[in-house]
């Protein structure tokens, strides 16, 4: 190799070495944070979402309904409650449990009848008949007994009912609250707006109508004020909140 070619080769190597970037970390560039004008934080609305599983109102199982019914009758056995519900009217108000078992929704697996999960016309009529029997017998036991029954021993109407007069609303409401708690399980003041006023209007209308019928010479089974409380009982015992959960 000649001296000229060796010199050109050395020059090429030096030029290539100088063109390669140096190995190592690049120098860190310091960040400059500039202060901004202070401002209030923008409030963010919080939306609460209930993600629990939802189901429509369901019927109380017939076993629970019957147990509740027997409890309202004073904790009697089914046969004792049947005897008391029939009273002196025979089958005019209450027949027998055998006539109501199927219509209440109880299953009968011997004849392949399934449990009823929805209401029907016959079931509603059965609820109606049982409710009337309960309220009528409660009026007879609590309010019309020959020997006055103490308030603590009464079945449904655990309050005094003045004879021969329509109660003003302030005196009606505490007594109505007793029935509301008995059938629906919570104080009347927690119910929907206007419910108490509607029940008072029902009470006063029934008492007024029955008093007019009594003056016209019609024979009534209950006194007008007793009919008023029986009507309130009818309305509560057939209320959807009593049958659904």
Looking at the predicted structure, is the pLDDT value of residue 103 above 90?
no
Q: Where along the chain do its domains lie?
A: 62-243
What is the DSSP secondary-structure string of 156-221? S--S---TTSPPPHHHHHHHHHHHHHHHHSS-GGGS-TTHHHHHHHHHHHHHHHHHHHHHTT---S
Give the CA radius of gyration of the chain: 41
Banded pLDDT at 230 (limits 50, 70, 90) = very high
Q: Long-range contact list for 223-228, CB < 8 A, 24+ apart?
A: 223/163, 223/164, 225/161, 225/162, 225/163, 225/164, 225/165, 225/166, 225/167, 226/139, 226/143, 226/144, 226/161, 228/166, 228/203, 228/204
Residue 111 banded pLDDT, cuts 50, 70, 90: confident
Q: Is the pTM of this model over 0.85?
A: no
């Amino acid at each position: 190799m000649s001296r000229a070619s060796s010199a050109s080769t050395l020059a090429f190597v030096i030029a290539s070495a100088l063109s390669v970037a140096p190995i190592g970390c690049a120098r860190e560039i310091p960040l400059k944070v500039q202060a901004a004008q202070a401002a209030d934080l923008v409030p963010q609305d919080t939306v609460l979402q209930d993600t629990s599983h939802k189901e429509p109102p369901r019927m109380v199982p017939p076993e629970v309904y019957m147990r509740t019914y027997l409890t309202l009758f004073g904790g009697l056995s089914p046969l004792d409650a049947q005897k008391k519900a029939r009273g002196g009217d025979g089958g005019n108000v209450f027949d027998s449990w055998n006539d109501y078992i199927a219509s209440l929704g109880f299953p009968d697996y011997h004849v392949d009848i399934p449990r009823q999960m929805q209401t029907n016309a016959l079931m509603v009529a059965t609820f109606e008949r049982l409710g009337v029997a309960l309220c009528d017998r409660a009026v007879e036991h609590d309010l019309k007994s020959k020997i006055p029954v103490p308030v603590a021993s009464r079945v449904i109407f655990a309050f005094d009912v003045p004879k021969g007069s329509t109660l003003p609303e302030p005196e009606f409401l505490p007594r109505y609250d007793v029935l509301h708690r008995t059938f629906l399980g919570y104080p009347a003041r927690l119910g929907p707006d206007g419910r108490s006023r509607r029940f008072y209007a029902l009470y006063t209308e029934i008492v007024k109508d029955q008093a007019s019928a009594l003056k016209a010479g019609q024979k009534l089974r209950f006194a007008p004020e007793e009919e008023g409380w029986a009507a309130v009982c009818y309305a509560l015992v057939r209320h959807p909140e009593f049958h659904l959960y």
